Chains A and B, each alone.
Chain A
Amino acid sequence: MSLGITPSQTVGPYLHIGLPESREAAPGGVRVSGLVLDGAGEPVPDALVEAWDASGAFARSDTRDGGRYELVVAKPARFGEQAPHLDVGVFARGLLKRVVTRLYFPDEAEANAADPVLAAVDPGRRSTLVAVPGADGSLRFDIRLQGDGETVFFQL
């Protein structure tokens, strides 16, 4: 039996009414923040960024603060051949369906070099998937939807 799936539609500009940000920060977690940017390099203030890991731990943030999101996440463990990573989904006005990317950690150079998902990505674009360390232990991870430095997005 195979039923036709229900198609996606945009989350629209009023997503905040129905999709509140996660309230509980992961204890001892890592602060991850960044901008969602459009093809003109402009911040996208009506997006929703969601992150989750292999344990199902989930966090989401909107970008009302000038296109900026902020999440506090627990850094996941390495499993199998895969380096520690988060899957990241972005919904926005103007996105008819979610984009999905991955966040890798900058202090895991060795594990990242052996990660099979990163290995499948054009070497010139891999850096879009690795967060940048901040001075205070936080991480910066900008998401460029289109154009120069476009983030690598995945087909699930």
Chain B
Amino acid sequence: MTDDDPPYLYEPYVGTRLRAPTQTLVLLPHTKTELAEPVYGHDAVTAADADLTNRHEGEPQGQRIVVSGRVLDADGRPVRDSLVEIWQCNAAGRYRHDVDQHDAPLDPNFDGAGRALTDSEGRYRFVTIKPGAYPWRNHDNAWRPAHIHFSLFGRAFTQRLVTQMYFPDDPLFPYDPIFNSIRDERARQRLISQFDLATTIPEQALGFRFDIVLRSTPFEE
């Protein structure tokens, strides 16, 4: 955690009010446990897990996209061979989840989950569809900007990160308390992917680039 992270308590995001710890955090030295490299069964991840558009007979509705980038640490070193998990709603703004009661259609050809391992340069790549915006009940007329949830393990538990990737120029940014819980403008901007012609596939899919920076560990690569 650093100052670029949001606080636990951010009043405009109502969900934080009864869940944010109130006591001062105790500093935890980085010992063997905190610096252990997670063991989660790499061999179970296959290349097909990174394509969210090929799970069913038909193709999902919506704009096909490629989301790719590099995972680095704060010293600029690639975070290699580490698990990246993503999940998202469909193009209509509906999650395949019991709790989601938004009156928008489910897509029989879209589940919304993927995972990948970073390569030796820290690169990852997913093929999916652009998620829709959706309403939530945080405040009157509240809508979440389109986003993809990201979970990263890094190479040590100090690097563990769960975040959300957004899309450029979303008109909902000024109204979203989750996005705006990050006080620092430059830090907020790091959650916005960039359109990338170089990874756009002609006649096929738009490319978006999202590089992720995890905190550094004392390990030497």
Q: Could you tell me which A residues sit within 8 Å of B by CB distance?
A: 1-19, 22, 24, 38-40, 42, 44, 46, 50, 52-58, 76, 79-80, 82, 85-87, 89, 91-100, 102, 116-117, 120-121, 125, 145-147, 150-156
Q: 6 nearest interchain CB pairs?
A: A18-B87, A94-B15, A154-B28, A94-B19, A96-B6, A155-B25
Interface string of B159-178 (1 = CB under 8 A from A): 01111100000000000001
A22 to B40, CA, bound (A): 8
- Given the known A-B contacts A17-B87, A146-B22, are A156 and B34 also in contact in the complex, defined by CB atoms under 8 Å? yes
B202 interfacial by beta-carbon distance below 8 Å: no
Contact B187 A7, beta carbon cutoff 8 Å: yes
Contacts of B111 in A (CB 8 A): 17
Contacts of A24 in B (CB 8 A): 41
Contacts of A17 in B (CB 8 A): 87, 95-97, 111-113
Q: How large is the interface on B (under 10, 10 to 19, 20 to 34, 35 or more residues)?
A: 35 or more
The interface residues of chain B, by DSSP majority, are classed as loop
Contact B213 A6, beta carbon cutoff 8 Å: yes
Contact A152 B23, beta carbon cutoff 8 Å: yes
27 contacts between A and B (CB under 8 A): A3-B73, A3-B74, A6-B163, A6-B191, A6-B213, A7-B182, A9-B6, A9-B149, A11-B149, A11-B151, A14-B99, A19-B151, A39-B18, A52-B157, A54-B31, A58-B39, A58-B40, A82-B31, A86-B33, A89-B157, A95-B19, A96-B10, A97-B5, A99-B21, A117-B29, A150-B21, A154-B25
